[in-house]
Homo-oligomer: A and B are copies of this chain.
């Protein structure tokens, strides 16, 4: 065990795309757990679109990362020493441990995970925040009914691929939107009935072709023109679930709202945002149901694993460039 803790700190607020110089990789002394705390060896980190928002100053659903602080990240790790009776040495745990090799925690927001049921990285994917986001966003906010057409952007991403599969489990037609042949093939493999490749045809045209009856539920991970394309095909009483707007996150100058938002009026439809943390009390319920679906072969999980925190900015840009297939996870170090 090293004497030092390698960390990635946010030292500058990004303007537009997160540039390499907004982060600093540095060594810090190994932290010491105080009374009621424990020390975690960080093994896997989650790379999420939401990270872009955390880097901005100002009001959001969660406090921004302060300049000079370790970049926030969801993680899986192993407890290597503990002064907290709820967590013992050797426990595998999930929590917001940040982009670093070692973290001290008081246990708030931390829960144990079982490596015998699923590989550790899966607890950052289908059995973690992206899976919860898909589950509650689709089922609670989107409220799909059997026979509905459910349209999902970011269909090859961690959230989107899970939304499509849950839609199928619920008896809906699932149509995905993704960029490029490889991503579209990936979306088809996980079970989407049809896929729109927005790099091969205009999104609006593709949505019209793939959703001939219109769209009952649109699960939006991207915003921009694809959101507009979906709005223009809404059915009566449709539900638009706002999960993210990755096309807009790095758009510092001119944020673009959906020009045809009045389609919501014409179609008596709603557009609703949600934040997965609000459902924290029900994560257990969702994880049990999804684990069951995985066991029955109805729900696939796929992680895209990259290595090392020194390249954190590059890994993050992979995500914004849409180069990942499935949930993007950084393997921090060997167990």
Q: Once the chains bind, are A261 and B264 in contact (CB under 8 Å)?
A: no
Which one of B223, B267, B272 contacts A269 once the chains associate, using CB atoms below 8 Å?
Answer: B272
The residues in A between 242 and 279 inclusive whose CB is less than 8 angstroms from any CB of B are 242-245, 248, 254-275, 278
Residue among A59, A263, A266, A278 facing the most chain B CB atoms (10 A cut-off): A266
CB distance from A101 to the nearest CB of B (A): 32
Number of A positions contacting B (CB below 8 A): 33
Any B CB within 8 A of the CB of A85? no
Any B CB within 8 A of the CB of A60? yes
Which one of B242, B267, B270 contacts A262 once the chains associate, using CB atoms below 8 Å?
Answer: B242
| Chain B residue at minimum C-beta to C-beta distance from A59 | B266
Contact residues of A: prevailing secondary structure: loop
Q: Specify which chain B residues have a CB less than 8 angstroms from the CB of A245 in the assembled complex.
A: 262, 265
CB distance from A172 to the nearest CB of B (A): 21
| Chain B residue at minimum C-beta to C-beta distance from A244 | B265
Q: Specify which chain B residues have a CB less than 8 angstroms from the CB of A256 in the assembled complex.
A: 257, 259
Which one of B242, B260, B275, B278 contacts A257 once the chains associate, using CB atoms below 8 Å?
Answer: B260
Residue among A243, A259, A261, A266 facing the most chain B CB atoms (10 A cut-off): A261
CA distance A264 to B273 in the complex (A): 5
Q: Once the chains bind, are A275 and B271 in contact (CB under 8 Å)?
A: no
Q: Once the chains bind, are B269 and A61 in contact (CB under 8 Å)?
A: no
Q: Once the chains bind, are B278 and A273 in contact (CB under 8 Å)?
A: no
Q: Specify which chain B residues have a CB less than 8 angstroms from the CB of A266 in the assembled complex.
A: 59-61, 273, 275
The residues in A between 173 and 227 inclusive whose CB is less than 8 angstroms from any CB of B are 223
CA distance A258 to B231 in the complex (A): 14
CA distance A282 to B257 in the complex (A): 34
Which one of B244, B268, B270 contacts A270 once the chains associate, using CB atoms below 8 Å?
Answer: B270
Q: Once the chains bind, are B274 and A268 in contact (CB under 8 Å)?
A: yes
Q: Once the chains bind, are B269 and A270 in contact (CB under 8 Å)?
A: no
Q: Once the chains bind, are A271 and B261 in contact (CB under 8 Å)?
A: yes
CB distance from A330 to the nearest CB of B (A): 25
CB distance from A143 to the nearest CB of B (A): 12
| Chain B residue at minimum C-beta to C-beta distance from A62 | B266
Q: Once the chains bind, are A271 and B274 in contact (CB under 8 Å)?
A: no
Q: Once the chains bind, are B257 and A264 in contact (CB under 8 Å)?
A: no
CB distance from A224 to the nearest CB of B (A): 11
CA distance A248 to B258 in the complex (A): 13
CA distance A274 to B264 in the complex (A): 8
What are 17 sample pairs from A and B whose C-beta atoms fall under 8 A apart? A59-B266, A61-B268, A223-B262, A242-B261, A244-B265, A245-B262, A245-B265, A255-B260, A257-B261, A264-B271, A264-B272, A268-B275, A269-B273, A270-B272, A271-B271, A271-B272, A272-B272
- Which 10 residue pairs across A and B have the least CB separation, nearest first? A257-B257, A265-B273, A264-B273, A270-B272, A257-B258, A255-B259, A257-B259, A242-B265, A257-B261, A271-B271
Name A's B-contacting residues (CB within 8 A).
Answer: 59-61, 223, 228, 242-245, 248, 254-275, 278
- 18 additional A-B residue pairs with CB within 8 Å, beyond A242-B262, A265-B273: A61-B267, A61-B268, A223-B262, A242-B261, A242-B265, A245-B265, A248-B262, A256-B257, A256-B259, A257-B261, A258-B258, A267-B273, A268-B272, A268-B273, A268-B278, A269-B272, A271-B271, A271-B272
